[in-house]
Amino acid sequence: MTPERLQRIKRMLNNRQTDLTVCLEDVHKTHNLSAIVRTSDAVGVHYVHAVMSSDNPLRMRTGTAKGSQNWVQVIQHDSSQSAIRALRQQKIQLLATNLSDRSVDFREIDYTQPTAIVFGQERDGISDAVLTDADAHIVIPMVGMVQSLNVSVASALVLYEAQRQRAAAGMYGTCTLPQDEQQRILFERGHPIYAEICNNKGLPYPKVDDNGEIDADEHWWQQMKYSNTQSVLV
């Protein structure tokens, strides 16, 4: 790992917002999921929750969102109930993007609080159960003829408002990720070849030191050397 890459990864880690997240309820289109994950990474969201029913074509698909998903953890849920339960355990405010009698302008929300923003399925929107459970409904003001924006566009607007508020409150620049998560990212993204070998062989990841170098004992290096030799022979 070059010093430049190490500094870039560390800078990213220092700006991750572990208490700001997005929950996608059965989003079906690859380009929408990809765009939302990309925007999430751009504003520092580290975890995206995705409710995916058994017939969702994106379920368990690898490579969705391409490079962005290397940095954002997409947590899949079988049902909306399990997703909301997981979010509520974090003592988080739940916002549903929905036009209703309780709706408020999305810019009136305090996003410096622990927040999960729910975006619904492209055709049917958010389920009634989630709408009922939400702490607030938010809308993006529309003054034209269309009644709604594409879900990926809507998510970008809301997430960048959250980013604006959090930046003004000084919430960027300090890493809040657990140490083991920081180490996982540093190893997988700083030393991807060795990470692949570890995954293939079921080996634990070694520590990455402050200079971005692998800190492992001789036994670990011997296993890596043997794996590399085997790869060349094959």
Binding site: what residues are annotated? 97, 140, 149
- Per-residue pLDDT reduced to its tens digit, 125-141: 788 888 999 999 999 99
Res 200 pLDDT > 70: yes
Write down the H helix ranges in 54-145. Answer: 80-88, 128-133
Measured between alpha carbons, how far apart are the two ends of the chain, in Å? 26
- Domain coordinates in residue numbering, the chain: 17-168, 179-233
- Per-residue pLDDT reduced to its tens digit, 10-64: 999 999 999 999 999 888 788 888 899 999 999 999 999 998 766 555 555 544 4
Binding site for S-adenosyl-L-methionine: what residues are annotated? 97, 140, 149
130 and 80 in contact (C-beta within 8 Å)?
yes
- Per-residue pLDDT reduced to its tens digit, 88-144: 998 899 999 988 888 899 999 999 999 999 998 767 778 888 899 999 999 999 888
Res 234 pLDDT > 50: no
Res 65 pLDDT > 70: no
Burial class (CB in 10 A: 0-12, 13-18, 19+), 56: middle
Distance of CA 161 to the CA centre of its chain: 17
Which one is the CATH code of 17-168: 1.20.950.20, 3.40.50.1110, 3.40.1280.10, 3.20.20.60? 3.40.1280.10
